[in-house]
Amino acid sequence: MSAAPGQAPASVDVLTFGETMLAAQLPGSLAVGAQARTTVAGAESNVAIGLARLGHHAVWAGLVGDDEPGRLVLRTLRGEGVDITRAATHGTAPTGAMLREQRVADLARVHYWRSHSAASLLTPADIAPALGDGARVLHLTGITCALGPGPLEAVRAAAAHAHAQGWTVALDVNHRQRLWTAEEAGRALRPLLPLLTVLIASDDELPVVSDAFTDTPEGEERAVDALLDAGVREVVVKRGGEGAAVRDRRGARHSVPALRVPVRDTVGAGDAFCAGYLSGLLDGLPPAGRLDRANTLGAFAVASDGDWEGLPRRDELGLLDAAPGTAIR
């Protein structure tokens, strides 16, 4: 394996790693020959792009194949300002791929080809150099944990290292039923809870990492209580069109409503939300301000096509305050 070219990083705001894939996006069904647009997509790299566009030093330390899709991944991330100094290529395993069909109305169907991909062979040794560089925040997702035993061990090693070094450790549960069951995810993710500073989950993902059912407000309260008791310092709950909320171990709680925007594409909205929340954390915003920024990036994502393409630069954060149909001249 070889490191991607680049200079050694200086001070890192956020370190993340995981699988970024070749993505083919279709406006209709593949079966009828809809024309595809090729791009790249991956939960952690989506977050890294969102942070880089806001001016943060974001490092993506994933593993891709030594192939054309892998070169596209690295070129795209580099072009978006993400630090790929610690990204690496695998000599024999391929870069993963995904295909997303806009099947009917706003219903999207996603297909993956990630078995035996380069990212599924990631090990703790692959991320050790990036961990040695240091960072203010380590961002992890449940998706990486689901890719195989090596990636799971890499996440565990990274979380333990970051916790011992006093970094902020953030985990987005990001449960994917096609990768593993809720029971399998729970067994893998729950041991990480004492190491986490921030846990981010949608309301229907809370049962994955707690024993509480969340079909009522009381159930959600019990789930958050359980996570805080397990050692998480701060739990952020995404409620889709209803906004988001955060609670911490000191008893503080805040909630904000979602921004109302025309919905074009919901894929990537959760990653955008995470990027916004971590950006607010890095900027020292209070909890309500962090939620506001998270909701803002989530709104940009759902109102744009693509996983990350519509995410804002820092000087664009206020664009959604304009009235619908406004032309900014």
Taking the C-alpha atoms of residue 129 and residue 94, their distance in angstroms, rounded to an integer, is 22
**Cα-based distances in Å from 66 to 72, 156, 201, 311:** 11, 26, 34, 28
Name the strands in the sheet holding 21-26, side by side, starting at the edge strand that comes first in the sequence: 37-41, 21-26, 97-104, 107-113
CB contact burial 68-99 (16+ within 10 A = b; e otherwise)? ebbebbbebbbebbbbbbbbbbbeebbbbbbb
Q: Which of 97, 99, 98 is nearest to 35 (CA)?
A: 99
Q: What's the full length of the chain, in residues?
A: 329
**Which of 265, 271, 292, 307 is the catalytic position?**
271
Structure-token pair, residue 315: 């000087």
Nearest by Cα to 178 from 273, 113, 258, 90: 113
**Spatial separation of the C-alpha atoms in residues 237 and 199, rounded to whole Å:** 8
307 is catalytic: no
Please check whether residue 88 is in contact with residue 1, taking contact to mean a CB–CB distance below 8 angstroms: yes
Q: Please, which residues have CB within 8 angstroms of residue 302's CB and are 6 or more apart in sequence?
A: 261, 263, 264, 265, 266, 269
Q: How far apart are CA 280 and CA 261, in angstroms?
A: 21
The catalytic residues are 271
